[in-house]
C-alpha cells in the first residue's frame, strides 16, 4: 500500500480520530531492534521471570525438557505474531480498527473492550511487580519502618505510587519516548541478569551442579504424564504472550517493513526465550544451593545475595524492564481500544488515563486478593477469554478476504460498506466467538477438562477460526470486492 492509498478520504467521526488512522509508510520509524526489545522487555519483566522460573519446579519434568517446552512456545508465538502482525504492517492500522473487517465497524468494540479489560488488569499487576523493584531499592538505602495494609508495607505503597506516576509521565511523552526507553531497558536488563547469574554461580561454587541435577531430576507434586506436562508448559507460555499475540498490530503498524517485523520476532522470541530460560534455570538452581529453597522472584534473590551495588543496579534495571513492557503491552492497547469506543470524545491519551486509573485499583489488590488464584491458572484463564479472536482475525484476513481489505470502508458506517454487515455487527463472528470461548474457558475452569487447561489458548484460537470459516462460507461469495 502506498501513502496515498492509506489516506482516508471520507471521515466518519464515530469511527475515526488521528490515533486510529493508518500510519503512512513514510512516517514509520520502528525496525527489527524495536520489535526485538518489545519481546525482550516482555520476557525479562519480573512477572515473566517468576513465571519461567516456576515452570522449572512445578511440573516434575527434567530441566532440559522444561527449557525445550519454553523454547517451542517461543517458536509458536513467533509464527502466530507474524500472521497477526502482517496486515497492520501493510495497512498501518491498530488492532481495534483491523478487527472491524471481521466483527463489523461497530462489532469491533466488543473484542476491543475485552482486550482493554485484560490489558488494564495486566497493567495493574505489572505495576505492582515493577514497584517491588523500587521497594527493594528504597529499603536497601533507607530501611523499612514495617507495618502492612492489603499485603503491602508503607514502602511498598510508596513504591507502587511512584511507579504508577512514572508510567503515566512516560506515556504522556508519546510513543517515540517509549520506544527509546525500551531500546535501552531491554539490553541493560540482560547485562544485570547475566551478572546476577555469575554472582549466584560464584557464591554457590561446587554446590551449583548438584542443585541443577536436583531440578533436572524432575521432582515435584505434579501427577500428570510427562507429555501432558510438556504440553502444559508450552501452552502456559503461549498464553502468557496471548494478549500481545492478538493485538500485535498495535506495534507492527509502526514497523517500516515486514522483513523488519519478522527479524525482530525471530530474535526476540525463540532465541531470546532460549537464552533467558537458561539464565533462569541457573539462577533458580543457585538459590537452592545457597538458601536451601528455590526462589522465583528476582527481588527476593537480590535481597538474599546481599550486595548493595548489585541491589541498586538490579532494582533500577528490573523496574525499567517491567515498566517498558507494561507501557507497550498493557497500556497502549487499552488506550487504543477505549479510543475506538468513542473516537470523537476519547483520544489515545484520555484512553490511557482511564486505563491507569482503573489499573491502580487492580494493582493495589494484587497481593491480598488476585494473586491467590495462582499464576498459571491466572495466565491461562485470561488468555482463554480472548483466544477465539485470534483465529477469527487470521482466518478472515488470509482465507476469507485473501489479504485484501478496503481501508476506506474500515472508517465508514454507510450501510453499503464492506464491513457494515447488520447495523455494523457481524453476527456470524459473534457466534463463532461464543462457541469457541465457551469451550476454551471450560478447559480452564471445568474440573473434568482440567487436562486441557495448559493449552486452552490454542484450542480457543483454533476453534474460533474454524467456526468463523464455517459460518462465513455461505457469505464469502457475496463479499464486496476488497482493495
3-class SS of residue 414: coil
Q: What is the CA radius of gyration of the chain?
A: 22
**Cα distance between the two ends of the chain:** 10
Instruction: State pLDDT tens for residues 165-200.
Output: 999 988 888 778 888 888 887 787 778 778 878 888
Spatial distance between the Cα atoms of 298 and 286, rounded to a whole number of angstroms: 12
Question: What is the pTM for the complete model shown?
Answer: 0.84
- Assess contact for 236 and 12: CB atoms under 8 A: no
Spatial distance between the Cα atoms of 226 and 144, rounded to a whole number of angstroms: 44
Q: Mean pLDDT, to the nearest integer, of 378-389? A: 75
Neighbours of 417 (CB within 10 A): 21
Spatial distance between the Cα atoms of 283 and 31, rounded to a whole number of angstroms: 32
Instruction: State pLDDT tens for residues 108-132.
Output: 999 998 888 888 888 888 898 888 8
DSSP state at residue 425 = B
> According to the model, what pLDDT value does residue 481 have?
45
Rama region for 11: left / alpha / beta (φ>0; ψ in -120 to 50; rest): beta
Q: Which helix (H) or strand (E) holds 355?
A: helix 348-364
Positive or negative, the Cα torsion across 185, 336, 382, 442?
negative
3-class SS of residue 106: coil
Q: 149 - beta bridge partners?
A: 152
Q: How far is CA 267 from the centre of its chain?
A: 17
Give residue 239's pLDDT band: very low, low, confident or very high (50, 70, 90): confident
Q: Mean pLDDT, to the nearest integer, of 137-151? A: 79
- Assess contact for 129 and 330: CB atoms under 8 A: no
Give residue 96's pLDDT band: very low, low, confident or very high (50, 70, 90): very high
Give residue 230's pLDDT band: very low, low, confident or very high (50, 70, 90): confident
Please provide the average confidence, as pLDDT, over all residues in the chain: 83
Spatial distance between the Cα atoms of 61 and 141, rounded to a whole number of angstroms: 40
Residue 478 has pLDDT above 50, yes or no: no
Q: How many residues does the chain have?
A: 483
Spatial distance between the Cα atoms of 83 and 397, rounded to a whole number of angstroms: 9
Q: Of all residues in the chain, what percent carry a pLDDT higher than 90?
A: 31
Contacts of 165-171 with C-beta under 8 Å, sequence gap 24+, read: 166/323, 167/127, 167/130, 167/323, 167/326, 167/327, 167/331, 167/356, 168/352, 168/353, 168/356, 170/323, 170/327, 171/327, 171/331, 171/332, 171/335, 171/349, 171/352, 171/356
Instruction: State pLDDT tens for residues 297-325.
Output: 776 777 777 677 777 777 777 778 778 77
Rama region for 151: left / alpha / beta (φ>0; ψ in -120 to 50; rest): left
- Assess contact for 58 and 228: CB atoms under 8 A: no
Spatial distance between the Cα atoms of 123 and 63, rounded to a whole number of angstroms: 31
| Alpha-helix runs per DSSP H in 45-153 | 46-58, 63-91, 95-98, 100-103, 109-142
The CA–CA distances, whole Å, from 359 to 68, 110, 125, 184, 426 equal 34, 20, 8, 26, 31
Spatial distance between the Cα atoms of 314 and 189, rounded to a whole number of angstroms: 8
Q: Of all residues in the chain, what percent carry a pLDDT higher than 70?
A: 89
Burial of residue 151 (CB within 10 Å: 0-12, 13-18, 19+) is middle
Nearest to 21 by CA among 424, 483, 411, 418: 411
Task: Delineate the domains of the chain, giving CATH numbers in brackets.
Answer: 25-373 (1.10.4160.10)
Give residue 46's pLDDT band: very low, low, confident or very high (50, 70, 90): low
> According to the model, what pLDDT value does residue 329 have?
77
Neighbours of 375 (CB within 10 A): 17
> According to the model, what pLDDT value does residue 373 have?
63
The angle, 0 to 180 degrees and rounded to 10, between the axes of the packed helices 456-476 and 375-395 is 20
> According to the model, what pLDDT value does residue 480 have?
47
> According to the model, what pLDDT value does residue 4 have?
65
Q: 30 - beta bridge partners?
A: 255
Amino acid at each position: 500500500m502506498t501513502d496515498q492509498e492509506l489516506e482516508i478520504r471520507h471521515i466518519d467521526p464515530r469511527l475515526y480520530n488521528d490515533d486510529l488512522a493508518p500510519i503512512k509508510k513514510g512516517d514509520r520509524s520502528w525496525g527489527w531492534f524495536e520489535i526485538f526489545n518489545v519481546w525482550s522487555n516482555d520476557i525479562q519483566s519480573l512477572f515473566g521471570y517468576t513465571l519461567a522460573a516456576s515452570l522449572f519446579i512445578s511440573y516434575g519434568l527434567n530441566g532440559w525438557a522444561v527449557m525445550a517446552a519454553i523454547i517451542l512456545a517461543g517458536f509458536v508465538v513467533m509464527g502466530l505474531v507474524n500472521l497477526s502482525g502482517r496486515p497492520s504492517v501493510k495497512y498501518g492500522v491498530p488492532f481495534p480498527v483491523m478487527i472491524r473487517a471481521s466483527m463489523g465497524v461497530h462489532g469491533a468494540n466488543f473484542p476491543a473492550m475485552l482486550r482493554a479489560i485484560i490489558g488494564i488488569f495486566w497493567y495493574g499487576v505489572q505495576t505492582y511487580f515493577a514497584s517491588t523493584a523500587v521497594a527493594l531499592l528504597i529499603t536497601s538505602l533507607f530501611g523499612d519502618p514495617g507495618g502492612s495494609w492489603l499485603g503491602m508495607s508503607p514502602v511498598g505503597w510508596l513504591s507502587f505510587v511512584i511507579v504508577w506516576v512514572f508510567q503515566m509521565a512516560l506515556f504522556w511523552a508519546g510513543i517515540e519516548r517509549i520506544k527509546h526507553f525500551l531500546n535501552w531497558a531491554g539490553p541493560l536488563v540482560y547485562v544485570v541478569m547475566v551478572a546476577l547469574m555469575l554472582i549466584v554461580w560464584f557464591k554457590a561454587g561446587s554446590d551449583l551442579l548438584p542443585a541443577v541435577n536436583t531440578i533436572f531430576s524432575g521432582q515435584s507434586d505434579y501427577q500428570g504424564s510427562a507429555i501432558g506436562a510438556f504440553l502444559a508448559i508450552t501452552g502456559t507460555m503461549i498464553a502468557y504472550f496471548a494478549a500481545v499475540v492478538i493485538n500485535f498490530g498495535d506495534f507492527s503498524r509502526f514497523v517500516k517493513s515486514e522483513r523488519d517485523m519478522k527479524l525482530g520476532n525471530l530474535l526476540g522470541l525463540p532465541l531470546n526465550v532460549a537464552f533467558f530460560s537458561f539464565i533462569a534455570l541457573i539462577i533458580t538452581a543457585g538459590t537452592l544451593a545457597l538458601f536451601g529453597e528455590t526462589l522465583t522472584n528476582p527481588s527476593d534473590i537480590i535481597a538474599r545475595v546481599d550486595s548493595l551495588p548489585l541491589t541498586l543496579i538490579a532494582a533500577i534495571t528490573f523496574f525499567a524492564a517491567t515498566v517498558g513492557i507494561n507501557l507497550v503491552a498493557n497500556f497502549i492497547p487499552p488506550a487504543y481500544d477505549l479510543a475506538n469506543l468513542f473516537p470523537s470524545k476519547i483520544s489515545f491519551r484520555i484512553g490511557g488515563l482511564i486505563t491507569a486509573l482503573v489499573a491502580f485499583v487492580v494493582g493495589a489488590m494484587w497481593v491480598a486478593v488476585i494473586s491467590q488464584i495462582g499464576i498459571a491458572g491466572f495466565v491461562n484463564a485470561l488468555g482463554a477469554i480472548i483466544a477465539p479472536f485470534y483465529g477469527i482475525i487470521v482466518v478472515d484476513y488470509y482465507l476469507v478476504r485473501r489479504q485484501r481489505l478496503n481501508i476506506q470502508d474500515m472508517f465508514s458506517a454507510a450501510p453499503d460498506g464492506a464491513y457494515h454487515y447488520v447495523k455494523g455487527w457481524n453476527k456470524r463472528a459473534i457466534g463463532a466467538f461464543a462457541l469457541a470461548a465457551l469451550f476454551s474457558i471450560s478447559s480452564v475452569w471445568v474440573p473434568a477438562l482440567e487436562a486441557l487447561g495448559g493449552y486452552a489458548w490454542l484450542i480457543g484460537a483454533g476453534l474460533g477460526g474454524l467456526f468463523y470459516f464455517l459460518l462465513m462460507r455461505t457469505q464469502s461469495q457475496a463479499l464486496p470486492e476488497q482493495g
